[in-house]
Amino acid sequence: MDPLRMADLSPRKKRPRQTGASMASPSQDVKFQDLVIFILEKKMGRSRRAFLMELARSKGFRVESELSDSVTHIVAENNSDSDVLEWLQAQNIKASAQLELLDVCWLIECMGAGKPVEVTGKHQLVVRKDYSASANPEPQKTPPLAVKKISPYACQRRTTLNNCNHIFTDAFEVLAENYEFRENEGSCLAFMRAASVLKSLPFTIISMKDTENIPCLEDKVKYIIEEIIEDGECSEVKAVLNDERYQSFKLFTSVFGVGLKTAEKWFRMGFRTLSKIRSDKTLKFTQMQKAGFLYYEDLVSRVTREEAEAVSVLVKEAVGAFLPDAFVTMTGGFRRGKKTGHDVDFLITSPGITEEEDQQILLKVINLWERKRVDSGKASQQEGKTWKAIRVDLVMCPYERRAFALLGWTGSRQFERDLRRYATHERKMVLDNHALYDKTKRMFLKAESEEEIFAHLGLDYIEPWERNA
Ligand code: DCP
Ligand code: MG
């Protein structure tokens, strides 16, 4: 990008200049009504400006495409105070006391904080009293928060749901899924790991410099990051989203009970829609797939936390009927604090229970529900139905293994994967959802709580809501 290109010296006049009315992207909600940002293209370049605008809007900032009287904050990069003042003069805008002229470091800090940060001297581009070059040293660029050494293992990172790098991780997840559909495990894992590590960062990646010292970013990943920084989007992701095979696999696997093998088969047979598959007389469906089609609409809609809590009451009631001293714990995404999920996961255990009784209890619970369903089914048919089908995963475990089961079923998948990888490679131990085996001591290590398992592994404890890797 040539910074001296004349076209860069004024905002593009694709639309007439407007005053007052918001021109912020209509699809995103404005959270911070009090400030109206305009980002100067001059010396920053068009694509970086577009990227920053998109990013700021996605975080609830109002960003105008064109300079107007309603603008309160002008953000510039690589511009001196006099550059900006001169430019403003050319636009016929006076640098009033209300108008903040800021270096991009302010915006970057805001992106990291997820809200407007207070403007201080280091952000201000123009020292208004005396803006001679000598009185205004180069604006200080705030590097993203000093990055402590980041572990390549998700179980040594704290990953909350507050993801500052959605723009990148959403792209990675599409690519990873596409590789999964194409059974390219290596590339799938590379993009999942990259998404996972970016989710743990306390700042947003704004330039390639920010990616230095971040582990798990292979060259092909960095290439995508660079493209998104420069163009605001990734051409490969766009192509994948439009790809027929990807779209079909996504659609087919959205049916409960349909995995990659079945999706592949249907795709090869030439199917592209669910209605054609459903009505095909030659296809055989499993019990799960039949249920998947029958309750398709219900099952593709996300389960909310309120629904999960309601299910929890039902599960506790049903289990309590057979096992009065049972412990029922919601695990999976909801335990990690997610607001919605594709199912609701429960771990059930009880001090007295034997392994043989395990299976019996689940069958009894399911029979109980089945009877209730038949009874209520008589009263209300599918039409005018007042209930929603929800996927529920019930896991039972022996009481002594509950800590391992709880840790194993809380996820996320990436967190679990890295816990096992860490145990194997760093501790010569074997971890699964049932036990922890120390190969050096040749013994199983007992644990009454998740904290004890982390301690056995020599890891700092990571709370469930910090396991959203
Ligand atoms: N799990 C696992 N390996 C599997 C399946 C599950 O380690 N093959 C663990 C990790 C998951 C947890 O069980 O986090 C629950 O599985 P889900 O598929 O329900 O995942 P989430 O609950 O995390 O996601 P969602 O919110 O979509 O239900
Ligand atoms: Mg779940």
Tell me the average pLDDT across 211-239: 95
Q: Is the pLDDT of residue 381 over 80?
A: no
How far apart CA 246 and CA 248 sit, in angstroms, is 5
Q: Is the pLDDT of residue 146 over 60?
A: no
pLDDT in tens, 245-269: 999 999 999 999 999 999 999 999 9
Q: For position 94, what pLDDT does the model report?
A: 74
User: Which of 301, 395, 413 is the best mutation target for the ligand 1 pocket, counting ligand atoms within 8 Å of the beta carbon and taking the most?
Assistant: 413
Mapped onto helix, strand or coil, the DSSP state of residue 196 is: helix
Q: For position 283, what pLDDT does the model report?
A: 97
Q: For position 126, what pLDDT does the model report?
A: 61
First to last CA, the chain: 36
Tell me the average pLDDT across 151-167: 96
Question: Where in the chain are all domains bearing CATH 3.40.50.10190?
Answer: 13-133
CATH of domain 13-133: 3.40.50.10190
Q: Which ligand is nearest to the CA of 332?
A: 1
DSSP string, 53-119: HHHHHHTTEEEESS--TT--EEEESS--HHHHHHHHHHTT----TTSEEEEHHHHHHHHHHTSPPPP
How far apart CA 109 and CA 118 sit, in angstroms, is 10
Measure 413 CA to ligand 1 centroid, in angstroms. Answer: 6
Nearest ligand 1 atom to the CA of 341 is 26
How far apart CA 419 and CA 155 sit, in angstroms, is 6
Number of H helices, E strands in the chain: 18, 12
Long-range contacts of 286-294 (CB under 8 A, 24+ apart): 286/257, 287/257, 288/256, 288/257, 289/255, 289/256, 289/257, 289/258, 289/262, 290/257, 291/256, 291/257, 291/389, 292/255, 292/256, 292/257, 292/258, 293/255
From the list 234, 241, 222, 225, the residue with the least C-alpha distance to 177 is: 241
Q: Which ligand is nearest to the CA of 419?
A: 1
pLDDT over 70 percentage in the chain: 88
Ligand 1 atom 3: residue of nearest CA: 413
DSSP string, 258-293: --HHHHHHHHHTT---HHHHHT-SS----HHHHHHH
Nearest ligand 1 atom to the CA of 413 is 10
Q: For position 147, what pLDDT does the model report?
A: 46
Positive or negative, the Cα torsion across 48, 49, 50, 51?
positive
Question: Where in the chain are all domains bearing CATH 1.10.150.110?
Answer: 150-255+257-283
Q: For position 132, what pLDDT does the model report?
A: 34
Q: For position 98, what pLDDT does the model report?
A: 80
Tell me the average pLDDT across 8-25: 36
Q: For position 20, what pLDDT does the model report?
A: 36
Q: For position 356, what pLDDT does the model report?
A: 78
Q: Which ligand is nearest to the CA of 341?
A: 1
Q: Is the pLDDT of residue 161 over 80?
A: yes
Q: Is the pLDDT of residue 145 over 70?
A: no
Ligand 1 atom 26: residue of nearest CA: 341
Ligand 1 atom 16: residue of nearest CA: 332
Q: What is the dihedral of CA 213, 215, 218, 223, to 10 degrees?
A: -50
Q: Is the pLDDT of residue 120 over 60?
A: yes
Question: Where in the chain are all domains bearing CATH 3.30.460.10?
Answer: 303-328+339-396
Per-residue pLDDT band for 353 (boundaries 50, 70, 90) equals confident
Per the prediction, the chain carries an average pLDDT of 87
- Beta-strand (E) ranges in 133-202? none
Poorest-pLDDT segment among 110-114, 353-357, 464-468: 353-357
Q: Beta partners for 429? A: 438
How far apart CA 96 and CA 93 sit, in angstroms, is 9
Q: Is the pLDDT of residue 90 over 60?
A: yes
Alpha carbon separation from 157 to 119, 295, 335, 462 (Å, rounded): 31, 38, 18, 8
Task: Classify each residue of 159-169 as buried b or exposed e, where b means 16 or more C-beta atoms within 10 Å of its C-beta.
Answer: beeebbbbbbb
More confident residue, 137 or 457: 457
- What positions carry a catalytic annotation? 343, 345, 393
Measure 332 CA to ligand 2 centroid, in angstroms. Answer: 5
Measure 244 CA to ligand 2 centroid, in angstroms. Answer: 28
Q: For position 80, what pLDDT does the model report?
A: 78
Ligand 1 atom 14: residue of nearest CA: 411
Q: For position 14, what pLDDT does the model report?
A: 34
Measure 333 CA to ligand 1 centroid, in angstroms. Answer: 7
User: Which of 173, 345, 397 is the best mutation target for the ligand 1 pocket, counting ligand atoms within 8 Å of the beta carbon and taking the most?
Assistant: 345
Measure 260 CA to ligand 1 centroid, in angstroms. Answer: 17
Measure 205 CA to ligand 1 centroid, in angstroms. Answer: 28
More confident residue, 214 or 125: 214
More confident residue, 71 or 125: 71
Q: For position 170, what pLDDT does the model report?
A: 97
pLDDT in tens, 392-451: 999 999 999 999 999 999 999 999 999 999 999 999 999 999 999 999 999 999 999 999
Contact 468, 159 (CB under 8 A): yes
CATH of domain 303-328+339-396: 3.30.460.10
Nearest ligand 1 atom to the CA of 411 is 14
pLDDT in tens, 276-318: 999 999 999 999 999 999 999 999 999 999 999 999 999 999 9
Q: Is the pLDDT of residue 17 over 60?
A: no
Question: Where in the chain are all domains bearing CATH 3.30.210.10?
Answer: 403-466
Task: Classify each residue of 24-59 as buried b or exposed e, where b means 16 or more C-beta atoms within 10 Å of its C-beta.
Answer: bbeebebeeeebbbbbbbbbbbbbbbbbbbbbbbeb
Q: Is the pLDDT of residue 354 over 80?
A: no
Q: Kindly list the protein residues whose Cβ atom lies closer than 6 A to any atom of ligand 1.
A: 332-333, 338, 341-343, 345, 408-409, 411-413, 416
More confident residue, 59 or 263: 263
Nearest ligand 1 atom to the CA of 412 is 14
Q: For position 228, what pLDDT does the model report?
A: 95
Mapped onto helix, strand or coil, the DSSP state of residue 417 is: helix
How far apart CA 425 and CA 397 sit, in angstroms, is 27
CATH class in words for 403-466: alpha beta
Q: For position 340, what pLDDT does the model report?
A: 98
CATH 1.10.150.110 fits 150-255+257-283, yes or no: yes
Residues with a beta carbon under 5 angstroms from ion ligand 2: 332-333, 341, 343, 345
Distance of CA 200 to the CA centre of its chain: 10
Ligand 1 atom 11: residue of nearest CA: 411
Q: For position 383, what pLDDT does the model report?
A: 66
Largest CA distance in the chain: 85
Q: Beta partners for 174? A: none
